[in-house]
C-alpha cells in the first residue's frame, strides 16, 4: 500500500511539474550555411547555434538568404527583400523596433520559407527564447548577433548564401542533467522511505504476532495449572445432576451416570471433556465468564490485550423438552446469581495440588 501511495505522490508531483516546465523546454537548431564566392569557391559553416521560437513549428527549412531593403529589422508589413522569386528563400532580419510577431508575419507574407532573427548589437552570439504569438504555422529561429551580422553583410556585398536549418536537441528543466539527477534522487529517497516504512510495519506486526503467540502459550500453561486444581467428579446413579433436567451448556447434552464432570470456581458444572478445551482457549466460564485464573489465584506472567482471543458474544440456552428454561448472555452475569459469586474462594474446587481429585 505504501509503495503504491509513494508512486501516486511521485506521479502527482511530476504531473504538476511538467505543465509548469513545458513552457521552458526549447529546441535548438542546426545551421548549415554555404557561402558561394565569386571565385566559384564555396565556404560552408555549420553549428548548433539557433533556437526555435516559442510559437514556431519545430521543423526543417532551407533556402537562399535574403535581407530586407532599407530597415534591417523588417518591421514594416510592406518590407521588400532582394530575392529570386523562383527559389525558396529565408528572411534574415535583425531584432528590434517591433515585436517578433510583426517582423515574422511581414516576412511570411512576402513568401519566405522561414525567418531567421539575429540578436541586437553588443550581445555577441547570445540568443533568447523569443515569443511570437499570432504567427500561425511560421517557422522561426533566433541566432546570435555576430553570426547574423556576418551573414547579412555577405548578402549585402553580393555573396549568395544558402542556409539549411535542421532540428537540434531539446533543452529545459526536464531535459537538463541536473534536473534528471534531482528527479532520480527524489525517486530513490521516496522509494527508500517506502521500503523502510514497509519493513518497519512488517517487523512490528511480526513482533506483535510473536508476542501474542508467546502470551497465548503462557496463558494456556497457566490454564492447565488452573484446570488441574478444579474439582472433578464422576457422576453416580441417583446424583442430583443425573436425576434433574440439567444439561452441559457446552454440548447441550444431559448428564448421565458414569460421566466425568468438572466443577468450576463459580459452581457451574460441565462435562470434563467439553470444558477443558474451552478453558484452554478462553479461560472463562461459558455461563458467567468467571475468570478461573483470577479465581484460583494463578498469576499471569504477561498482562496483554487478549480482546482478539475473546469468545464471540453468543447466548447460551439450556432447554428441556423444547422449552427454554433460561438464557444467559456471556457479557453479563447471570441474573439469578449475585455478581460476587464470580470470585468465590470458599467452594470445594480449592483443593491442594497434592490432593487427588475425588471421583
Q: Domain holding 282: CATH number?
A: 3.30.40.10
Give the mean model confidence (pLDDT) for residues 235-253: 87
Measured CA to CA, the distance from residue 45 to residue 163 in angstroms comes to 10
pLDDT for res 11? 55
pLDDT for res 270? 92
Angle subtended at Cα 29 by Cα 24 and Cα 30, rounded to the nearest 5 degrees: 155
State the residue range of the domain holding 150: 26-171
pTM of the model: 0.46
Q: Do 163 and 230 lie in a common domain?
A: no
18/217: higher pLDDT:
217
User: What does the block give as the cell for 154?
Assistant: 555577405
279/16: higher pLDDT:
279
Question: Would the pLDDT of 320 be above 50?
Answer: no
pLDDT for res 151? 92
CB under 8 Å, gap of 24 or more: what pairs does 246-252 form? 246/318, 247/318, 247/319, 247/320, 248/274, 249/286, 249/287, 249/316, 249/318, 250/274, 250/275, 250/278, 250/286, 252/318, 252/319
Decide if 107 is inside a domain.
yes
Decide if 178 is inside a domain.
no
Buried b (16+ CB within 10 A) or exposed e, 241-252: bbeeeebbbbee
CA-based radius of gyration for the chain: 48
Decide if 117 is inside a domain.
yes
pLDDT for res 354? 37
User: What does the block give as the cell for 338?
Assistant: 449475585
pLDDT tens across 117-139, in order?
Answer: 999 998 888 888 888 999 988 99
Decide if 195 is inside a domain.
no
pLDDT for res 333? 42
Q: Do 165 and 234 lie in a common domain?
A: no
Average model confidence (pLDDT) across the chain: 76
Question: Would the pLDDT of 255 be above 50?
Answer: yes
Give the mean model confidence (pLDDT) for residues 51-64: 90
Q: What is the tally of helices (H) and strands (E) in the chain?
A: 7, 12
Q: Which of 25-39, 101-115, 149-163 has the lowest mean pLDDT?
A: 25-39
User: What does the block give as the cell for 223?
Assistant: 490454564
Question: Would the pLDDT of 54 be above 70?
Answer: yes
Q: Do 324 and 250 lie in a common domain?
A: yes
Q: Do 51 and 136 lie in a common domain?
A: yes
Q: Do 137 and 247 lie in a common domain?
A: no
- End-to-end CA gap in the chain: 59
Q: Which of 254-258, 307-311, 346-350 has the lowest mean pLDDT?
A: 346-350
Question: Would the pLDDT of 218 be above 70?
Answer: yes
pLDDT for res 31? 92
Question: Would the pLDDT of 4 be above 60?
Answer: no
Q: What percent of the chain has pLDDT over 70?
A: 73
19/35: higher pLDDT:
35
What secondary structure does DSSP assign to 219-248, as a single string?
HHHHHHHHHHTSEEEE--TT-HHHHS--B-
Give the mean model confidence (pLDDT) for residues 137-155: 92
pLDDT for res 7? 54
306/260: higher pLDDT:
260
Q: Do 164 and 232 lie in a common domain?
A: no
Q: Do 334 and 233 lie in a common domain?
A: yes
Decide if 234 is inside a domain.
yes
Q: How far, in whole angstroms, is CA 231 from its chain's centroid?
A: 59
40/133: higher pLDDT:
133
Instruction: DSSP letter for 68, please.
Output: B
Q: How many domains does the chain have?
A: 2
Measured CA to CA, the distance from residue 19 to residue 21 in angstroms comes to 6
Decide if 354 is inside a domain.
no
Decide if 61 is inside a domain.
yes
Q: Do 236 and 143 lie in a common domain?
A: no
Q: Do 109 and 225 lie in a common domain?
A: no
pLDDT-derived band of residue 282, with 50, 70 and 90 as boundaries? confident
The CATH number of residue 35's host domain is 3.50.30.30
**Contact status, residue 247 vs residue 254, Cβ threshold 8 Å:** yes
Question: Would the pLDDT of 142 be above 90?
Answer: yes
Q: Do 44 and 151 lie in a common domain?
A: yes
pLDDT tens across 78-118, in order?
Answer: 888 877 777 899 999 999 889 999 999 999 988 899 999 99
Q: Do 164 and 284 lie in a common domain?
A: no
Q: How far, in whole angstroms, is CA 134 from its chain's centroid?
A: 42
346/234: higher pLDDT:
234
Decide if 180 is inside a domain.
no
Q: Do 161 and 228 lie in a common domain?
A: no
pLDDT tens across 191-216, in order?
Answer: 888 899 889 999 999 999 998 888 88
- Which run of H or E residues covers position 140? strand 140-143
**Contact status, residue 271 vs residue 263, Cβ threshold 8 Å:** no
Amino acid at each position: 500500500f505504501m509503495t503504491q501511495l509513494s508512486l501516486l505522490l511521485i506521479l502527482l508531483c511530476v504531473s504538476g511539474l511538467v505543465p509548469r516546465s513545458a513552457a521552458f523546454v526549447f529546441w535548438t537548431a542546426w545551421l548549415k550555411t554555404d557561402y558561394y564566392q565569386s571565385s566559384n569557391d564555396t565556404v560552408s559553416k555549420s553549428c548548433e547555434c539557433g533556437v526555435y521560437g516559442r510559437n514556431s513549428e519545430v521543423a526543417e527549412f532551407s533556402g537562399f538568404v535574403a535581407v530586407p531593403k532599407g530597415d534591417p529589422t523588417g518591421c514594416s508589413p510592406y518590407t521588400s527583400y532582394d530575392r529570386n522569386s523562383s527559389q525558396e528563400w529565408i528572411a534574415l532580419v535583425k531584432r528590434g523596433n517591433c515585436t517578433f510577431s510583426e517582423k515574422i508575419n511581414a516576412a511570411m507574407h512576402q513568401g519566405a520559407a522561414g525567418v531567421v532573427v539575429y540578436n541586437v548589437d553588443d550581445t555577441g552570439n547570445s540568443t533568447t527564447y523569443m515569443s511570437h504569438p499570432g504567427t500561425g504555422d511560421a517557422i522561426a529561429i533566433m541566432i546570435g548577433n555576430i553570426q547574423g551580422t556576418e551573414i547579412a553583410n555577405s548578402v549585402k556585398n553580393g555573396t549568395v548564401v544558402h542556409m539549411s536549418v535542421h532540428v537540434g536537441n531539446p533543452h529545459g528543466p526536464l531535459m537538463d542533467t541536473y534536473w534528471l539527477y534531482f528527479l532520480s534522487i527524489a525517486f530513490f529517497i521516496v522509494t527508500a522511505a517506502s521500503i523502510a516504512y514497509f519493513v518497519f510495519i512488517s517487523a512490528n506486526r511480526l513482533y506483535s504476532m510473536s508476542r501474542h503467540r508467546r502470551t497465548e502459550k503462557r496463558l494456556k500453561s497457566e490454564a492447565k495449572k488452573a484446570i488441574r486444581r478444579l474439582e472433578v467428579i464422576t457422576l453416580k446413579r441417583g446424583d442430583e445432576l443425573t436425576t434433574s433436567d440439567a444439561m452441559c451448556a457446552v454440548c447441550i447434552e444431559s448428564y448421565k451416570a458414569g460421566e466425568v464432570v468438572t466443577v468450576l470456581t463459580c459452581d457451574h458444572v460441565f462435562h470434563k471433556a467439553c470444558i477443558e478445551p474451552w478453558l484452554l482457549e478462553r479461560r472463562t466460564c461459558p455461563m458467567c465468564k468467571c475468570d478461573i485464573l483470577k479465581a484460583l489465584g494463578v498469576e499471569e506472567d504477561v498482562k496483554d490485550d487478549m480482546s482478539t482471543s475473546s469468545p464471540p458474544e453468543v447466548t447460551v440456552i439450556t432447554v428441556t423438552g423444547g422449552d427454554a428454561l433460561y438464557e444467559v448472555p456471556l457479557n453479563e452475569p447471570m441474573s439469578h446469581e449475585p455478581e460476587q459469586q464470580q470470585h468465590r474462594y470458599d467452594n470445594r474446587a480449592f483443593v491442594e495440588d497434592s490432593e487427588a481429585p475425588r471421583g
